[in-house]
């Protein structure tokens, strides 16, 4: 890239990039705020920022974590983060919260969830932006991940709530997708939406402590059996099922060791780089698709005609292809 | 709709619509050929045709059938079709073949597969169009389904090969998605891609005959166990696991009876109408998305710039959002 003149609106972004690179935490927070902004001039600055930071990204283990409410996700991430920081790493926790539109991001955004981790100098916790759509959150979370990497965080945790809307988005931006489960099989599993277990690279049964030790052991066996029916997404990697207790801090080391094994296997086979190249390509196309459809929905002539046409299609009195053509003619008309 | 004048290019479509309605099989075949055409004037005629036929559609049981190669799909569909015709129904078999681009549609298009069924006056078998993309095939198959319904076919079978690219498209256009499985659990199941079992409303283990009767019984038990972990997609409907032998014609009656139960449950709860309204709405949006992205890809300025930008994104030297914005500016530029 060329060096911009002082009058270039992107210049502040480059100063911010330097500060991020030097590990300035307030700069990091400001950089992510800039990325989350929808103002066009901010978007231009955000792009300049990312362009400057890109050569310094990619050097982290990217871990997605999901699980239904009640599985102990916050406790797990706190125990996991502190363990990993204890080994000399720096951990950033980002959230994708499909409910943030309704709740203002309170479920995942509440910093009081991970008190000890959030106070640790080796950790950076960033809640979901309030009021954003899932697509928007996912787009910006990918960029925030890059900024955290440039700031020297070498373990990135992208967490989401296990209700089935956001897991695919998370799995599509990480090296390893970890699914947290309750120490119970059968009916309990039914809180997990279709297809979520299949996304996992690693399954961990949490709460394997106290009265639940036997139940956890049983659940591990059940999930191993169920997972034996699934084809592995990564060559040379059979999805392991572990148990742990985040509350008593047991089994967390084995989870981290298994993430290390997954990384080693993926680096050896080239699967990790291939997955990242695939993710970047898919991200490009999802940006294109989302921006196109946003422009379509926002088009005045489309907005005027859409409700009636969509209603007729759903009611079975208009063929979808005909409705689509009619709307697209309005869109391309100007 | 208004009555077109004789000079209206849509007039021939209306004559064709009448012939289709009267059960003229050559008219039916011509109607589907018209629908599959990508010529703009043909698309306009196809829309007029569908518009005219739409009031006479919807009165069928729409069944999707999938299974890996070797599961005996053709034999099953033949036995199933003949059974249902024997009960007084008319059966149309349509195919969505993700491999058709490579093979010219030979896998599913080969009419010699279902010799007896294809000769039966109560059946209509239509192979996939050769050379079409999956998206294109799925779009046209939805329309072909409506044409077959207007022609009086009251059981529509949409078949696909169980390799994971087309099952979702099929499940999104039918009332019931039937997955055919081999009489074997564990490793054998791994030929089925992630998420396919979860799409099923009904699972049938085929080849339960001869030496394989015990294996089939065992497989039924295994799949019942595995499916117990999944949340039902339809209220009041636990996905049944049956076995049959298409070769010896045993168990086919129970499959049809179960499809009838599914229909009754769905009609009672309103789930079937809700699913169809949902499918029509999703079809509208998928038409819009596909047409938008087609226009984007075909745009000369996009085509010129895309390979280099996409390569840099995949290689990690360009942020996807920046590449997307650059391409979209070219697209909207003219």
- What pLDDT shows up at residue A136? 66
Is residue A193 within 8 angstroms of chain B, CB to CB? yes
Beta bridge partners of B180: B204
**Is-above-0.80 flag for pTM?**
no
A319: chain B residues, CB-CB within 8 Å: 47, 50-51, 54, 143, 146
pLDDT in tens, B136-168: 667 889 999 999 999 999 999 999 876 666 888
- What pLDDT shows up at residue A242? 97
Is residue A85 within 8 angstroms of chain B, CB to CB? no
Q: Do B314 and A228 touch (CB under 8 A)?
A: no
Listed by start position, the domains of chain A span 1-55, 57-268, 281-331
Give the whole-angstrom CA distance, residue A142 versus residue A174. Answer: 9
- What pLDDT shows up at residue B95? 84
- Candidates A195, A315, A321; nearest CB to B143: A321
- What pLDDT shows up at residue A216? 93
Average pLDDT of chain B? 86
Q: Do A321 and B233 touch (CB under 8 A)?
A: no
CA of B67 to nearest chain A CA: how many angstroms apart?
Answer: 15
- What pLDDT shows up at residue B4? 52
Q: Do A321 and B295 touch (CB under 8 A)?
A: no
Is residue B192 within 8 angstroms of chain A, CB to CB? yes
Q: Which residues of chain B fall short of a pLDDT of 70?
A: 1-7, 9, 98-112, 129-137, 162-165, 185-194, 231-235, 334
Closest CA in chain A for residue B200 = A194
- Candidates B142, B292, B310; nearest CB to A284: B310
Q: Which of the residues A49, A231, A319, A322 would you substitute to probe the B interface, choosing the one with the greatest number of B C-beta atoms within 10 Å?
A: A319
Closest CA in chain A for residue B199 = A194
Q: Do A284 and B313 touch (CB under 8 A)?
A: yes
Q: Which of the residues A50, A229, A279, A305 would you substitute to probe the B interface, choosing the one with the greatest number of B C-beta atoms within 10 Å?
A: A229
Residues B255 and B204: beta-carbon distance below 8 Å: yes
Give the whole-angstrom CA distance, residue A188 versus residue B293. Answer: 41
- Candidates B50, B292, B319; nearest CB to A51: B319
Q: Do B287 and A321 touch (CB under 8 A)?
A: yes
Is residue B305 within 8 angstroms of chain A, CB to CB? no
The domain over range A57-268 is classified in CATH as 1.10.1040.10 = no
A142: chain B residues, CB-CB within 8 Å: 320
Give the whole-angstrom CA distance, residue B134 versus residue B98. Answer: 5
- The one-digit pLDDT tens for each residue of chain A (334 residues) are 455 555 676 778 889 999 999 999 999 999 999 998 888 889 889 999 999 999 999 999 999 999 888 889 999 999 999 999 999 999 999 988 765 444 433 444 455 678 899 999 999 999 876 555 666 667 889 999 999 999 999 999 999 876 666 888 899 999 999 999 988 765 455 566 667 888 899 999 999 999 999 999 999 998 888 887 776 666 678 899 999 999 999 999 999 999 999 999 999 999 999 999 999 999 999 889 988 998 899 999 999 999 999 999 999 999 998 999 899 999 887 5
Tally C-beta pairs within 8 A across A and B.
164
Is residue A8 within 8 angstroms of chain B, CB to CB? no
The interaxial angle of helices B320-332 and B300-315, nearest 10 deg, is: 180
DSSP string, A187-247: GGGGGSPTTHHHH-SEEEE---SGGGHHHHHHHHHHHHHHHTTSPPSSTT----EEE-BTT
Is residue B237 within 8 angstroms of chain A, CB to CB? no
Of chain B, the percentage scoring pLDDT greater than 90 comes to 61
The interaxial angle of helices B271-298 and B320-332, nearest 10 deg, is: 80
Domain A281-331 adopts which CATH fold?
Helix Hairpins (1.10.287)
Q: Do B320 and A280 touch (CB under 8 A)?
A: yes
A264's tokens: 């080693």
- What number of residues does chain B have? 334
Is residue B276 within 8 angstroms of chain A, CB to CB? yes
Give the whole-angstrom CA distance, residue A60 versus residue A175. Answer: 9
Is residue A111 within 8 angstroms of chain B, CB to CB? no
- What pLDDT shows up at residue B102? 40
- What pLDDT shows up at residue B184? 79
- Candidates A58, A324, A332; nearest CB to B284: A324
A1-55: CATH number: 1.20.5.170
- What pLDDT shows up at residue B188? 52
- What pLDDT shows up at residue B84? 98
Residue bearing tokens 């902004």 = A37
């Amino acid at each position: 890239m060329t060096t911009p003149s002082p009058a270039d609106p992107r210049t502040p972004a480059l100063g911010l990039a330097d500060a991020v690179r030097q590990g300035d935490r307030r700069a990091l927070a400001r950089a992510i705020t800039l990325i989350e902004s929808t103002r066009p001039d901010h978007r231009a600055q955000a792009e300049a920022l990312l362009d400057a930071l890109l050569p310094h990204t990619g050097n982290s283990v990217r871990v997605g974590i999901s699980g239904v409410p009640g599985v102990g996700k916050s406790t797990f991430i706190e125990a996991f983060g502190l363990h990993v920081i204890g080994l000399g790493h720096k951990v950033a926790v980002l959230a994708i919260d499909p409910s943030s539109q309704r709740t203002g991001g309170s479920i995942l955004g509440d910093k009081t969830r991970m008190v000890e981790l959030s106070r640790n100098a080796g950790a950076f916790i960033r809640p979901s932006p309030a009021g954003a759509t899932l697509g928007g959150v996912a787009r910006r979370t990918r960029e925030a991940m890059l900024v955290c990497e440039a700031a020297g965080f070498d373990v990135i945790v992208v967490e989401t709530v296990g209700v089935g809307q956001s897991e695919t988005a998370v799995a599509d931006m990480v090296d390893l997708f970890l699914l947290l489960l309750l120490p119970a099989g059968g009916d309990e599993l039914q809180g997990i939406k279709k297809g979520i277990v299949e996304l996992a690279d690693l399954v961990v049964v949490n709460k394997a402590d106290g009265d639940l030790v036997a139940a956890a052991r049983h659940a591990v066996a059940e999930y191993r059996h169920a997972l034996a029916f699934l084809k592995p997404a990564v060559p040379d990697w059979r999805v392991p099922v572990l148990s742990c207790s985040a509350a008593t801090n047991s089994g967390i080391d084995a989870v981290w060791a298994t993430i290390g094994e997954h990384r080693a296997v993926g680096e050896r086979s080239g699967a990790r780089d291939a997955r990242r190249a695939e993710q970047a390509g898919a991200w490009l196309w999802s940006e294109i698709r989302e921006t196109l459809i946003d422009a379509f929905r926002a088009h005045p002539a489309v907005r005027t005609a859409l409700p009636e046409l969509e209603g007729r299609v759903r009611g079975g009195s208009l063929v979808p292809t005909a409705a689509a053509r009619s709307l697209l003619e309005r869109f391309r008309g100007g």
